Amino acid sequence: MNPVNDIFIIIANFLRTLLGAGGLHLADWFVELIMAVLRAALLGTFALLIFMILTWIERKVVARIQDRLGPNVAGPWGILLPIADGIKMIVKEDTVPAGADKAVFNLAPLVAAVAAMLVYAVIPFGPDTGHGALAGADLNIGIFYILAVGAVSLIAILMAGWSSNNKYALVGAFRAVAELLSYEVPQVLSITVVVMLAGTMQMTQIVQAQTVPFIFPLFATAIIFFISGVAESGRTPFDLVEAESEIVAGYHIEYSAMKFSMFFLGEFVHAFAVCAVFATVFLNGWEGPILPPYVWFLIKSGAIFFIMMWIRGTLPRFRIDQLMAFNWKFLVPLSLVNLLVVAVADTIVRTMLHFTPDGNPWVWGLILFAVNLVMLFIAFGLLGRGARRGIDDRRTITRLPEDKAAAPASAQAN
């Protein structure tokens, strides 16, 4: 047993012996219960810690992208800022607006944070080395569980918007329903393609099924999943739910103190969960040379999160009609076509050309990669044509009166 790679399993075995036969002689089921509670506490703490670290990293990275310094007062490079924030949030007054639905209003931040945290229950941080996988629980419906639980945060947003007794909050909640629900469809469809090639919904087995990282044979799927994942976690450029310039702060406008930061916790934890799922499903999860598996896993998820921060630092916000049109008229048809193309191409390559994922993984992967590129090229070409036509349409509608007024005098004389 490698002491670095299997550190968590060694600690777990030590604790089991300590509580059971080797020390306290507790009953087996009770030992397992204590171990489960400890594992749950560890995972939950990981989610809270990752929130604190990510708030600092995100501020720093976005500041650098925008040519600012970012946090630099609290501690070296402002590294103590999350702690300072936490203390401030704890001692701030918590105002509840008059006329708010108190029970729902107070429950919403709790639901938002817990719902985002729940995704971490099935994310595998390391392989199964005979003592169970390095994950909270390696459910046989793992990825399906993630899709199901990932949608719960929507209910929290709806609760917050509805109970605040504020019109801006209500509009934010409506937008949340429209946006988060719609982007669920391409996300589910892209995961279907992954399950199709992996032949299982269990997270650890999806990693093991990747003889070549799925980002190559499923490049288009990865892009669809990433876009809908960014939208699902409600981050820029899809943050219409809390668009500051339009509806002040959206659904959490009336929240203050710790309840306010619970919504941010939910958002960041959910965003990192999307990155972790992306790393597991498309980038071969924990696999990698030299470094321990959990370090590889965090590096890959972190790299994806960096891309999310990069997008946040550079892209402006969508308008709501653009957002919905992009989803229903581009992403959903593309993911349906993607499902067909991958299934047909995979069947042809496997049964007629005899390149299987187990026999010649890289040949199989790269042929599918080429198919994906062709499909994306055509799709984005069509998208560009559609977008240009949309712009032309709007010009002809909105510019008519202006053009008349600005027309030269000779034209008016006729």
Partner 1 sequence: MLQDFAFVGIFVIVGTGLVALPLILNWLLAPKKPNKIKSETYECGMETVGETWVQFKAQYYIYALVFAIFDIETVFLFPWAVAYKQFGNIFPLLEMILFVLILAGGLIYVWRKGALEWA
Query: Would you say the C-alpha torsion 389, 171, 176, 44 has a positive or negative sign?
Result: positive
**Nearest distance from C-beta of residue 404 to partner 1, angstroms:** 26
Tell whether residue 95 is a contact of partner 1 (CB under 8 A): yes
Q: How far out from the chain centre does Cα 272 lie?
A: 6
**Nearest distance from C-beta of residue 302 to partner 1, angstroms:** 23
Tell whether residue 387 is a contact of partner 1 (CB under 8 A): no
* Contact present, 252 and 242 (Cβ < 8 Å): yes
Which residues make Cβ contacts (< 8 Å) with residue 81, sequence separation at least 6? Answer: 55, 56, 59, 71, 73, 74, 75
Q: Tell me, residue by residue from 110 to 149, as one string, x for binding to partner 1 by CB under 8 A and - for no binding.
A: x--xx--xx--x--------------xxxxx---xx----
- Which of 155, 248, 291, 295 touches partner 1 by CB under 8 A? 248
Q: Tell me, residue by residue from 8 to 37, as one string, x for binding to partner 1 by CB under 8 A and - for no binding.
A: ------------------------xx--xx
Per CB under 8 A, which of residues 180..199 are in contact with partner 1? 181-182, 184-185, 188-189, 192-193, 195-197, 199
Which two three-digit tokens encode residue 194? 């992954």
Cα dihedral 336/340/341/344 (nearest 10): 170
- Which of 12, 80, 155, 325 touches partner 1 by CB under 8 A? 325
Q: What is the DSSP letter of 81?
A: H
- Which of 68, 329, 395, 399 touches partner 1 by CB under 8 A? 329
**Residues 247-282: b if buried by 16+ CB within 10 A, e if exposed:** bbbbbbbbbebbbbbbbbbbbbbbbbbbbbbbbbbb
- Report the residue number, 237 or 288, with the smaller CB distance to partner 1: 237
Per CB under 8 A, which of residues 261..320 are in contact with partner 1? 262, 265, 320
Tell whether residue 41 is a contact of partner 1 (CB under 8 A): yes
Q: How far out from the chain centre does Cα 88 lie?
A: 28
- How far apart CA 277 and CA 120 sit, in angstroms, is 9
Tell whether residue 351 is a contact of partner 1 (CB under 8 A): yes
Tell whether residue 79 is a contact of partner 1 (CB under 8 A): no
Q: What is the radius of gyration, based on Cα positions, of the chain?
A: 25
**Nearest distance from C-beta of residue 304 to partner 1, angstroms:** 23
- How far apart CA 177 and CA 320 sit, in angstroms, is 12
**Nearest distance from C-beta of residue 348 to partner 1, angstroms:** 10
